[in-house]
Structure 1
Amino acid sequence: MPRTGTCCGNGRSAMTEIELLKALGNALQEMNWRAVDELCPRLVAHIRTQGAKPSNLLVQTLSSLRRKRCFNGMMQVAEAFIQSGAGTPFVKRQYAQALIDQGMLTAASAVLTPLAIEAAGTREGDEARGLLGSVYKQLFVAGGGTNVDALQRAITAYAAVYRENRARNIWHGINVVALLARATRDRFAVNCDLDAASTAEELLATIAAAEDDNFGSSDPWLTATALESLVALERYGDAEQRAIQYSSFGTADSFEIGSTLRQLEEIWQLNDSSDPGRSLLPLLRCALMQRDGASLLRDPRAIAQERANLAAAAAVTLEKRFGDTKSKTLRWYRDGLDRAAAIARIEQMGRGEGTGWLVRASDLFDAALPDLLLVTNAHVICDRKSPRAGAFAPDQVEANFQIAGHVTALDADVLWCNLDVDCTVLRIKTPPPNVPPLPVSRRKVEVWKPPQRMYVIGYPGGRDIEFSLQDNRLLDCDDSRLHYRTPTEGGNSGSPVFDEAWNVVGLHHGGDMRMQRIDNRDESYQANEAFAMTAVLEMTRQVRVT
Structure 2
Amino acid sequence: MNAAEYYSNIKKALKTYDIKSVERICNEFVRVLYKTDDIFEIADLEKIIQDLRDNRLFPLLQHVGNALIQTERSSSKIISQYAQALIDQDNLIAAISILKDLELETRDETVLGNKKINLECKGLLGRAYKQVYVDADNPNKLQNQNFLKTAIQYYYGGYLIDPDANTWHGINVVTLLKRAKADGIDFDQFPDEDVIAQTILDRIETLVYDQQASAWDFSTAAEACIALGKASDALEWMSGYVRMPYVTSFQLASTLRQLEEVWQLTIESESGLLLLPLLRSKLLEKEGGSMIIDAQNLKDQKDASENILQKYESIKKDTKSDTLGITLEKVFGEDSFKTYKWYAKGSDRCLAVARLGRDSSKGFGTGFLLKGKALHESLGNELVLITNAHVVSNDPAEKSLRPEEVTIIFEALSRDEEFKPSEIIWSSPSTALDVSILRFSADEHERLLQLTEKVEIYPVSKYLPVIDEESPSQRIYIIGHPFGGTLQLSFQDNVLLDHEDPKIHYRTPTEGGSSGSPVFNQQWDLIGLHHAGSAEMRCLNNKPGEYEANEGIWIESIKREFSRFLDANPIKPI
TM-score for both structures, normalised by structure 2: 0.88
TM alignment of 1:518-537, pairs within 5 A: 518-537=540-559
Report the Cα distance in structure 2 between the residues aligned to 1:201 and 1:502, rounded to whole angstroms.
Answer: 42
**1:411 is matched with which residue: 421, 424, 429?**
421
Greater mean deviation of Cα atoms: 531-540 or 54-63: 54-63
Q: Structure 1: how far apart are the matches of 2:149 and 2:379?
A: 67
Report how far residue 422 of structure 1 moved: 0.7
Which is worse superposed, 288-297 or 246-255? 246-255
Equivalent in the alignment of 2:377: 366
Structure 1 unaligned blocks of 5 or more: 1-14
Match of 1:473 among 486, 495, 500: 495
In 1, Cα distance between the equivalents of 2:8 and 2:337? 40
Alignment match of 1:319 (pick from 313, 317, 329): 313
Deviation at 1:18, TM superposition (A): 3.2
Contact 1:67 1:254 in 2 (8 A): yes
Is the contact between residue 52 and residue 81 of structure 1 (CA under 8 Å) also seen in structure 2? no
1:111 counterpart residue number: 98
User: Following superposition of structure 1 onto structure 2, how do residues 501-540 of structure 1 map, counting pairs within 5 Å?
Assistant: 501-540=523-562
The answer as to whether partners of 1:21 and 1:43 remain within 8 angstroms in 2 is: no
Residues 1:35 and 2:21 aligned together: yes
- Per the TM alignment, residue 318 of structure 1 is displaced from its structure 2 partner at its CA by 4.6
Q: Is the 8 A contact 1:139 1:150 kept in 2?
A: yes
Identify which of 151, 154, 157 aligns with 1:154.
Answer: 151
Call closer, same or farther: CA 1:325–1:32 in 2, change over 3 Å: closer
Q: Give the root-mean-square deviation of aligned CA atoms.
A: 1.8
Single out whichever of 169-178 and 403-412 deviates more from structure 2. 403-412
The whole-number CA distance in structure 2 between the counterparts of 1:488 and 1:79 is 28
Output the CA distance in 2 between the equivalents of 1:177 and 1:438. Answer: 45
Separation in 1 of the partners of 2:43 and 2:138? Answer: 39
Aligned to 1:347: 357
Partner of 1:6 in structure 2? none
2:31 maps to amino acid: A
The CA distance in 2 between the partners of 1:100 and 1:132, in whole Å, is 10
1:197 aligns with 2:184: no
Q: Distance in 1 between matches of 2:248 and 2:3?
A: 27
Shift of 1:467: 0.5
Counterparts of 1:51 and 1:98, CA distance in 2: 25
Distance 1:135 1:444, change over 3 A: closer
Aligned partner letter, 1:186: D
Q: CA deviation at 1:79?
A: 2.4
Change (3 A) 1:197 1:475: same
Are 2:434 and 1:422 aligned? yes
- Answer yes or no: is 1:332 the counterpart of 2:342: yes
Decide whether the 8 Å contact of 1:454 with 1:473 is kept in 2.
yes
1:96 to partner: Cα distance: 1.0
Q: Does 1:179 align with 2:176?
A: yes
Structure-2 separation of matches of 1:462 and 1:114: 43
Paired residues of 2:56 and 2:249 also in contact (CA < 8 A) = no
Counterpart amino acid of residue 439 in structure 2? R
Counterpart CA distance in 1 for 2:105 and 2:409 is 56
Residue type of the partner of 1:319?
E
- Per-residue CA deviations over 1:134-155 (Å, capped at 9, x if unaligned) read 1111110110152111100000
Checking the alignment, whether the CA contact within 8 Å between 2:389 and 2:398 is kept in structure 1 is no
Hey, what does 1:302 align to over in structure 2?
297
- Which has the larger displacement, 37-46 or 298-307? 37-46
Number of residue pairs the alignment of both structures matches: 527
Say which of 174, 193, 213 aligns to 2:210.
213
Q: 1:446/1:188 Cα in 2 relative to 1: closer, same or farther (>3 Å)?
A: same
Q: Is 2:131 the counterpart of 1:138? A: yes
Tell me the CA shift for residue 409 of structure 1.
2.5
- Kindly state the Cα deviation for residue 519 of structure 1 after the two structures are TM-superposed: 4.0
Structure 1 residue 327 displacement after superposition: 2.8
SS at match of 1:410: coil
How far off is 1:97 after superposition?
1.0
Q: What is the alpha-carbon distance in structure 2 between the residues aligned to residue 185 and residue 134 of structure 1? A: 19
**Same amino acid, percent of matched pairs:** 34
